[in-house]
Structure 1
Amino acid sequence: MTTRRNFLQKGILGLASTSLVSIPTAFATSVKSETSKGKPDPFKLGIAGYSFINFNLDESLKIMKKVDVHYLCIKDFHLPYKSTVEEIAAFHAKLKENNVTGYAVGPIYTKTRKEIDDAFDYAKRVGVDLVIGIPLHDDLDYVAQKTKEYNIRYAIHNHGPEDKLYPSAESIYNLIKNLDNRIGICFDMGHNKRDGRDSVADFQKFSKRIFDMHLKNVTAATKDGSTCELGRGIIDIPAYVKMLRKVNYTGSCSLEYEKDMKDPLAGIAESIGYFKGVCDATR
């Protein structure tokens, strides 16, 4: 039996089987008309900067233009922590030229309070109101102090069963639930699933403290599960999109593509096209 989900997967996989040059054009043309139907979603589609670890900023923005995505979570390899005022201004000017907005910085790993200070200072100088971070448990109260001092939100990223600090969204929530409400979660749905969790149910359960999320699918709900194109994994993406709407999520949904990272264009295009197609088909 052919379901709507199977139809979407087959259509997008068919596009992905065409030449690499034709993929971006096909998505840019079809997605634009598809997403013009119905009421706009409250959430924004972005890309996590880590997806471009092997590419400079110009190359990264070129990929974003090809897949018609306009929000970027900024990583330090594109904008170093010690960037000057002039360098930050030039960075934002380049993003603007490409119709891209940098909405957050990180993920930033910290092991000292000085590094936490630097992370908040960096976010303030860059001009964003959200830090994606991975602090030590002992520093959570200090992070909460900083969110109040700077009025900048801080979202902790979960990294699956290998992560002794934050394997799942629940592990983060249990540590922050009584802290300042500007401390929240960057929900990595793929790593959450690899920890044996139901990512759709967990998004609903912890949605009030989820400030950002990484779109990602995985091959198995175990430590050995690997990341894959968004429509090819075990997470039910249509159900996930419906949950985003149900809880009225207004943050960013940023694809973090970690497969074929030295040649990611086809996988990014397939994943973005699939997500946009699901959004349209489930309205």
Structure 2
Amino acid sequence: MTTRRIFLKNTSLAGLALAGGLPAAAAPQGEDLFKLGIAGYSFVHFKLDESLAMMKKLDVHYLCIKDFHLPYASTDAEIAAFHAKLAQSGVTGYAVGPIYMKTTEEIDNAFAYAKRVGVKLMIGIPNPEHLPYVDKKVREYDIRYAIHNHGPGDKLYPNAITVYNLVKNLDARIGLCFDMGHDKRYGDDPVADLEKYASRIFDIHLKNVTAGTKDGTTCELSRGVIDITAFVRALRKVKYAGCCSLEYEKDMKDPLAGLAESVGYFKGICTASQSSSKKS
């Protein structure tokens, strides 16, 4: 049962980190192309310093930047200071968003913001009629644009196929920020959808949900209805090379324990399934 022992060992890593007993070098180093990150919305109730302190405990090093940590009107000096603070914590801000854009002016402002921040990926929610304009801006800025699906109740982009059908004939730099939890809540299969639309998936909001219906809510990765082991296998199958960013919405005013459980579980799944595949 070597695989099981590896799995149990790695699912305990995040708990050790919370106790201050896990050196950074002890984190499992896999060979996967994808990276584990945090979606900035997970820290909506926390200042940047508090958020980075949690990321250090979690041993997670990629952050999707939200405007409550780096406002749209930030000066170049403030942006430089922001990146310096992230670097001191060993964190890279790899994208900005999600950003809602209802007008072409808001699209202009969002692309200008992403350029000043220095990222090459933006998570956006534009009005569908403005997608040709987004296409134009993507070509102008050479910034990838990932549309976020929000599940049942979202009239614009409820699931992966809706986004894909709208962008498949646009510039290849326009794709999907795949929220696997919302996709499941819509009644779809996030593992199958990852494989179907992989060429247009630039970012993943990594989460599990309590049910595959509109009443499903976000929960720790280990406690929901999505098969995370199958999802990891699919990530490897499609050679996904972006971030899988945890978006934890269960206990947003006290997220650390839930995030730690999810980090440990995800790393354990990755390590155990990798070891198993090497033996087979």
Structure 1 position 91 matched with structure 2 position 110: no
What is the CA–CA distance in structure 2 between the aligned matches of 1:67 and 1:25, rounded to whole Å? 11
Structure 1 position 130 matched with structure 2 position 130: no
TM-score of the superposition, structure 2-length normalised?
Answer: 0.92
Question: Contact 1:23–1:266 at 8 Å: present in 2 too?
Answer: no
Which aligned runs of 4 or more in structure 1 are off by greater than 4 angstroms? 4-12
Distance change >3 Å, CA 86–CA 130, structure 1 → 2: same
Q: Deviations over 1:52-105 (max 9, x none)?
A: 000000000000000000000000000000000100000000001011000000
Query: What letter matches 1:189 in structure 2?
Result: M
Question: Contact 1:169–1:202 at 8 Å: present in 2 too?
Answer: yes
Structure 1 position 193 matched with structure 2 position 181: no
| 1:65 pairs with one of 53, 56, 65 | 56
Question: Contact 2:13–2:27 at 8 Å: present in 1 too?
Answer: no
Instruction: State the number of aligned residues.
Output: 274
RMSD over aligned CA atoms reads 2.3
Structure 1 position 35 matched with structure 2 position 28: yes
Query: What letter matches 2:36 in structure 1?
Result: L
Structure 1 position 106 matched with structure 2 position 97: yes
5 Å matches for 1:106-255?
Answer: 106-255=97-246
- Kindly, what percent of the aligned residue pairs are identical? 66
Corresponding residue for residue 81 of structure 1:
72
What is the CA–CA distance in structure 1 between the aligned matches of 2:98 and 2:105, rounded to whole Å? 16
What is the CA–CA distance in structure 2 between the aligned matches of 1:273 and 1:26, rounded to whole Å? 15
Question: Once the 2 structures are TM-superposed, how far is the Cα of residue 10 of structure 1 from its aligned partner?
Answer: 11
What is the CA–CA distance in structure 2 between the aligned matches of 1:52 and 1:155, rounded to whole Å? 21
What is the CA–CA distance in structure 1 between the aligned matches of 2:171 and 2:21, rounded to whole Å? 41
5 Å matches for 1:260-279?
Answer: 260-279=251-270
Query: What letter matches 1:250 in structure 2?
Result: A
Question: Contact 1:67–1:272 at 8 Å: present in 2 too?
Answer: yes
TM-score of the superposition, structure 1-length normalised?
Answer: 0.91
Question: Contact 2:20–2:57 at 8 Å: present in 1 too?
Answer: no
What is the CA–CA distance in structure 2 between the aligned matches of 1:58 and 1:98, rounded to whole Å? 9
Question: Once the 2 structures are TM-superposed, how far is the Cα of residue 205 of structure 1 from its aligned partner?
Answer: 0.2
What is the CA–CA distance in structure 2 between the aligned matches of 1:8 and 1:40, rounded to whole Å? 16
Distance change >3 Å, CA 27–CA 261, structure 1 → 2: farther
Query: What letter matches 2:231 in structure 1?
Result: Y
Distance change >3 Å, CA 182–CA 78, structure 1 → 2: same
Question: Contact 2:27–2:59 at 8 Å: present in 1 too?
Answer: no
Question: Contact 2:138–2:144 at 8 Å: present in 1 too?
Answer: yes
Question: Once the 2 structures are TM-superposed, how far is the Cα of residue 24 of structure 1 from its aligned partner?
Answer: 1.7
List runs of 5+ in structure 1 lacking aligned partners.
Answer: none
Corresponding residue for residue 18 of structure 2:
24
What is the CA–CA distance in structure 2 between the aligned matches of 1:140 and 1:72, rounded to whole Å? 26
Question: Contact 2:180–2:207 at 8 Å: present in 1 too?
Answer: yes
